[in-house]
Amino acid sequence: MPRSHNSENAWWLRMPDAVAAVAADIAAERRPGRPRDSALESTVLSATVELLLERDTRDVTVSAITQRSGVSRAALYRRWSSREELLAAALDSVRSSIGFQRRDTALETILASYEQAAIDVDGKVGALVKKRIAMGLENDELRALSWDRHVSRRREPIAEEIRRGIRSGELSLDLDVEAMIDLINGLYYYQFVVRAPSSDPATAEATRYRVRNAVTLVWEGALRR
């Protein structure tokens, strides 16, 4: 069916605005003083993190991010294809990888490493972890991107430590590694993110002791018989 005269007019009228917007973005990128390519990612992620901590997530728009970072919309979309992809990267950017310090057993290695990671998830990082969970529940695309590009990759060092326990004979040969990670992560998320322990030293120590016992309980069920 041919387009109506009005729809054609609307289409042609929009063209100058679209071209002007792209031209403005290109011109903005060429201005002196714009962030170098090597620093662009860090600049945008830092600006996005700031906005996530300051505002309701619905107000963390691409326009707000470009304004805060000084990076053009065109440059931003060349690095991240969507707002959700950028938000996923920003939420992950404040997390440090779990650093494994070898102990005598895989269990002791994991317990020590998770306890340090739990200490690190505090203040700004803790607020963003909670925000990521809440945003993921409301936005399927963001949840999928966070998992595929970030969360799943953080699991690999844990998986390798569990596989080391299997190879050493500590753990059962038929252990489901992914299920084991889910169980351990679930315990820590519940205690340190959902339950949110008090800053009181005695209460924090009680939480650490409770989680340690829970992980040990799970681990004992996976021991090689």
Domain boundaries, the chain: 5-93, 106-221
Please, what is the average pLDDT of the chain?
A: 81
Q: Which residue has the higher pLDDT, 34 or 221?
A: 221
Structure tokens at 82: 């969507």
Least confident of 101-115, 118-132, 173-187: 118-132
Q: What is the largest CA-CA distance in the chain?
A: 79
Average pLDDT over residues 43-65: 94
pLDDT value of position 34: 45
- Number of continuous H segments (helices) and E segments (strands) in the chain: 12, 0
pLDDT value of position 11: 34
Task: Give the count of alpha carbons within 13 A of 42, CB side only.
Answer: 5
Average pLDDT over residues 112-134: 77
φ and ψ at 143, to 5 degrees? -60, -45
Write the class of the CATH domain 106-221: mainly alpha
Q: Which residue has the higher pLDDT, 182 or 10?
A: 182
pLDDT tens digits for 62-72?
Answer: 999 999 999 99
For the question of whether the overall pTM of this predicted structure is more than 0.85, the answer is no
Rounded (5°) CA angle 19-25-26: 90
Structure tokens at 73: 């919309």
Least confident of 5-19, 84-98, 149-163: 5-19
Nearest residue to 55 via CA among 139, 127, 138: 127
Rounded (5°) CA angle 22-89-153: 140
